[in-house]
């Protein structure tokens, strides 16, 4: 017999592992899952206990055959897909294929792709964890049942091509409900009142600004300008004194090392990474990258985890590093230990660097920009987790203001100052250490405990959670107890404020919301967010998630007819039940049976009772601008619109205002543009991919053209128009109308042709463009090659005379700039969200 065979998921891992194992093992990759439910049918025999009907995934047949062939020449097989439920399913399906080979099959777990991690995994082989596989299988069957039975309802009652999912639909509901809360929000006016004060007899001591916090012992609530004016007048007639002086310290605890959701939140907040982009980058760091030491090196531990646990050896290495780099004073007496949230799986460690000695400064030059950013975040968070709390010196003064004459009210004002006395963990993490949800690390319930279980630091930020915190100053003058104070310029002032609506979700804050509600798991957050964006139920506006009209419509229909499936609490309980399957506390057949019967009844009822949105024709009271017939509110692929009731004799239609009540964006004037096919005038229409030119002779003539921008192509002797286009995944870009795009033949096409699978299939594969392709990847053949991500503006540059300007995303909004970077012309940015333009940085 030959040497043992080690099977992993990724070809990248193969390269890294071969570096450590040399010729001791043959190493092969499955390229992900090798078996799944069929794509053309349900693939679940409900009558036979929900028996799944697995088939080999298309394109994996040769991979499986190669693994079986290698196994026949091996003396043992070690299955090492990722250490989670999906990895367990891959291992199970590969083991099934090897059942008749007759060699021992073992399951091994690699929590980090390092020499130590690989040797440790190989030294601890075990059997495949069947309960974990059954948990994954139950989830897959459950999602298939929901998707295959809900989606046809939407196809029939809303529009073809839609999909629904057990978790994705709940995620869309959260976004829809947040958006409606924003629309329903009514701002409330309130005022802050301040007084500029100084010691009455020692003006040289300096002045400070105090905020009014209480009136006659009750919290100060000032809701109008009139009330603010009365309060200011009373304060101006009052006598002030320093009623209470405080000096204390307050600690900020070190944050725990990252779990998956927190990493996604911080990467979203700091770098505007999508959840998928974060996980793809983390996967690269886990599987191994070249850092100039002779081969690929795994830089972080496994990145799908909800546990804050860290191995004793890693803690010891971290503490040793902190002692050398920051001194013994930065180390707590005992290692910091962090409590994982309730229900955490705790199967894997927290996300941490595999070698704390590999600092970001040492490896960043070998990494891509995304890898360097994410590795730096993970490394700093881990090192900070084993450092002392940051300590702030807090000074506070409470000022009492009493009326000089009887009958007035008594006021309390407060001012505080905060100074970082001991940096602690902030020495590595940075003083402005904000997390993805907008809070500061250590403010929640994840703070460290010393080894004896006692709290290591007090909860809260330097300014505390006290509603009477008052003004925060860099420093306060040296005051004396009961010292009289006097007003100094600018005296008493007021500041008008308005309550703010809830913020739209970012990808990071949506992940946090799902985590807190128990919806989804670390391995699914990124795919859920990516799916609802791809399905066009949600769109991104300035990095915030906003539901589309389609998303709101589908959510309303599903909530009405499937309240249980769309209930976040029900979804969370189902996640808990799937965890209990893994813990052998629930039989997966019984779980699916309990779910399916009422769900299937709801599906049948919805097929009968759900109103077909395409048949709804609601009168609006408006008249057709062309023929005077009533206008009807109707649903189309691009959303709600107004259409003439005399159709097809009259084809007039127009957009409705946005769901938030804002007017529909005005369509450009294209008078004088004629159809190149039939000569009739062309008009602007809106479709699911935006505005376009359409022939008014439709349906007899179906000619369409992209929308011109009014900007001519800058290429010499071209003369084409710059037109707006969209990629297959919805990104907007602009190119010359004469641009010819030719892509290199796909390898899949060549392989298909060589295998004799037909010219049509080969031709189709060659023409297929990758979903993530950007327009810049298209190779110009004959014709113009001008293309840009930045929206052209039909105005000449006043500095260099360039024929057009472009919109560029900058801090604070969108600026109009010259496309020639050497020119440097730039106009003041518009308010955020007022202009559309540059494509987002992430996928």
Assign 552 to helix, strand or coil.
helix
**The 3-state secondary structure of 295-315, one letter per residue:** CEECCEECCCCCCCCCCHHHH
- Alpha carbon 524 to chain centroid, angstroms: 12
Structural element, H or E, at residue 598 = helix 588-609
Query: Whole-angstrom Cα distance, residue 497 to residue 232?
Result: 16
| DSSP 8-state assignment for residue 503 | P
Burial class (CB in 10 A: 0-12, 13-18, 19+), 313: exposed
In the annotation, is 733 catalytic?
A: no
Which tokens in the block code for residue 336? 């910091």
The answer to whether 267 and 273 have CB atoms below 8 angstroms apart is yes
Residue 457 half-sphere exposure, CB side, CA atoms within 13 Å?
32
**The 3-state secondary structure of 341-377, one letter per residue:** CCCCCCCCCCECECCCCCCHHHHHHHCCHHHHHHHHH
CB within 8 Å of 278: residues ≥ 6 apart = 263, 264, 267, 268, 374, 526
The answer to whether 738 and 720 have CB atoms below 8 angstroms apart is yes
Beta-sheet strand order (sheet of 26-29): 26-29, 5-8, 77-79, 105-107
Vertex 25: Cα angle to 24 and 31 (nearest 5):
155
Which tokens in the block code for residue 539? 């769109």
The answer to whether 154 and 162 have CB atoms below 8 angstroms apart is yes
DSSP alpha helix (H) spans, 674-832: 747-754, 759-767
Burial 694-708 (b: 16+ CB within 10 A, else e): bbebeeebeeebbbb
CB within 8 Å of 334: residues ≥ 6 apart = 450, 451, 452
Burial 163-179 (b: 16+ CB within 10 A, else e): bbbbbbbbbbbbbbebb
Query: Whole-angstrom Cα distance, residue 384 to residue 266?
Result: 15
Query: Catalytic: which of 302, 392, 525, 537?
Result: 302
Residue 483's closest CA among 551, 400, 574, 563? 400
What are the catalytic residues?
A: 302
């Amino acid at each position: 017999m030959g040497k043992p065979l080690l099977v992993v998921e990724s070809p990248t891992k193969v390269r890294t592992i071969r570096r450590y194992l040399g010729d001791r093992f043959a190493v092969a990759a499955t390229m992900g899952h090798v078996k799944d439910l069929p794509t053309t049918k349900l693939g679940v025999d409900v009558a036979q206990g929900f028996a799944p009907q697995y088939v080999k995934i298309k394109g994996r047949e040769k991979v499986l055959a190669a693994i079986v062939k290698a196994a026949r020449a091996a003396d043992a097989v070690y299955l090492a897909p990722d250490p989670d439920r999906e990895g367990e399913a891959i291992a199970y399906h590969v083991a099934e294929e090897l059942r008749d080979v007759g060699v021992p099959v073992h399951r091994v777990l690699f929590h980090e792709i390092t020499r130590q991690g690989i040797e440790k995994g190989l030294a601890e082989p075990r059997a495949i964890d069947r309960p974990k596989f059954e948990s994954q299988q139950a989830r897959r069957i459950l999602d298939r049942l929901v998707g295959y039975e809900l989606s046809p309802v939407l196809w029939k009652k809303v529009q073809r091509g839609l999909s629904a999912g057990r978790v994705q639909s709940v995620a869309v509901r959260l976004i829809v409900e947040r958006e409606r809360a924003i629309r329903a929000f009514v701002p409330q006016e309130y005022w802050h009142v301040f007084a500029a004060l100084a010691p009455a007899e020692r003006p040289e001591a300096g002045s400070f600004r105090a905020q009014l916090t209480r009136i006659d012992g009750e919290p100060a609530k000032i809701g109008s300008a009139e009330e603010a004016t009365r309060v200011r007048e009373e304060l101006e007639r009052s006598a002030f004194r320093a009623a209470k002086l405080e000096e204390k310290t307050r600690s900020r605890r070190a944050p725990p090392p990252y779990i998956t959701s927190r990493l996604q939140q911080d990467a979203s907040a700091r770098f505007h990474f999508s959840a998928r982009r974060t996980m793809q980058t983390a996967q690269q760091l886990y599987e191994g990258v070249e850092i100039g030491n002779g081969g690929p090196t795994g830089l972080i531990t496994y990145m799908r985890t909800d546990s804050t646990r860290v191995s004793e050896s890693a803690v010891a290495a971290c503490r040793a590093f902190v002692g050398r780099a920051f001194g013994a004073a930065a180390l707590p007496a005992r290692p910091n230990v962090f409590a994982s949230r309730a229900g955490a799986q705790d199967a894997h460690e927290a996300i941490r660097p595999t070698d704390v000695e590999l600092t970001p400064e040492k490896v960043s030059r070998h990494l891509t920009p995304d890898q360097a950013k994410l590795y730096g975040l993970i490394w700093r968070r881990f090192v900070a987790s084993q450092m002392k709390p940051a300590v702030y010196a807090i000074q506070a003064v409470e000022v009492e203001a009493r009326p000089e004459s009887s009958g007035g009210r008594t006021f309390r004002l407060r001012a505080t100052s905060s100074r970082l006395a001991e940096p602690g963990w902030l020495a590595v993490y940075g003083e402005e250490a904000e997390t993805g949800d907008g809070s500061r690390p250590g403010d929640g319930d994840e703070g460290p405990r010393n080894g004896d279980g006692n709290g290591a630091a007090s909860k809260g930020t330097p300014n505390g959670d006290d509603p009477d915190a008052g003004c925060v100053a860099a420093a306060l003058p040296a005051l004396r107890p009961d010292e009289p104070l006097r007003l100094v310029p600018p005296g008493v002032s007021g500041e008008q404020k308005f309550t703010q609506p809830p913020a739209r979700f970012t990808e990071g804050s949506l992940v946090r919301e799902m985590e807190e509600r128990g919806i989804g798991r670390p391995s699914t957050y990124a795919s859920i967010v990516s799916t609802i964006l791809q399905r066009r139920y949600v769109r991104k506006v300035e990095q915030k998630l906003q539901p589309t009209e389609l998303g709101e419509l589908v959510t309303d229909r599903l909530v009405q007819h499937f309240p249980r499936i769309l209930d976040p609490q029900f979804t969370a309980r189902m996640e808990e039940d799937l965890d209990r399957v893994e813990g052998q506390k629930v039989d997966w057949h019984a779980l699916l049976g309990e779910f399916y019967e009422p769900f299937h009844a709801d599906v049948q009822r919805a097929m009968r009772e759900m109103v077909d949105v395409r048949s709804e024709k609601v009168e609006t009271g408006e008249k057709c601008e062309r023929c005077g017939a009533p206008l009807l509110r109707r649903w189309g692929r691009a959303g709600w619109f107004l259409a003439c009731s005399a159709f097809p004799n009259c084809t007039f239609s127009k957009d409705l205002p946005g769901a938030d009540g804002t007017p529909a964006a005005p369509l450009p004037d294209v008078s004088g543009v004629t159809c190149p096919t039939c000569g009739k005038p062309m008009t602007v229409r809106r479709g699911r991919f935006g505005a376009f030119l359409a022939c008014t002779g439709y349906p007899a003539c179906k000619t369409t053209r992209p929308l011109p921008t009014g900007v001519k192509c800058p290429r010499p002797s071209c003369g084409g128009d710059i037109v707006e286009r969209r990629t297959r995944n919805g990104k907007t870009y602009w190119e010359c109308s004469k641009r010819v795009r030719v892509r290199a033949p796909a390898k899949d096409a060549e392989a298909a042709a060589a295998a004799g699978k037909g010219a049509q299939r080969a031709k189709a594969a060659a023409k297929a463009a990758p979903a993530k392709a950007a327009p810049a990847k298209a190779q110009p053949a004959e014709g113009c090659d001008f293309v840009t991500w930045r929206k052209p503006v039909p105005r000449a540059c006043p500095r260099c005379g360039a024929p057009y300007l472009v919109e560029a995303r900058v801090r604070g909004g969108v600026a109009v700039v010259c496309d020639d970077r050497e020119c440097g012309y730039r106009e003041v940015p518009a308010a955020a969200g007022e202009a559309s333009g540059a494509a987002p940085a992430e996928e």
